[in-house]
Amino acid sequence: MQAWWNTVLGDYALERHHLLLLELACRSFDRCNEARRALAEHGTTFIDASGNIRPRPEVNIERDSRIAFARLVRELDLDVDTTVAQIRQPPALRSNRRVIGAR
Query: What is 23-80 written as a DSSP string?
Result: HHHHHHHHHHHHHHHHHHHH-SEEE-TTS-EEE-HHHHHHHHHHHHHHHHHHHHT---
DSSP SS3 for 55: strand
The pLDDT value given to residue 29: 97
pLDDT digits (tens, 9 = 90+) for 27-68: 999 999 999 999 999 999 999 999 999 999 999 999 999 999
- Range in 8-12, 29-33, 82-86 with the lowest mean pLDDT: 82-86
Mean pLDDT of the chain: 85
- What's the rounded mean pLDDT across residues 76-99? 59
pTM of the entire structure? 0.73
Give me the residue spans of the domains in the chain.
Answer: 2-44+53-96
The pLDDT value given to residue 13: 87
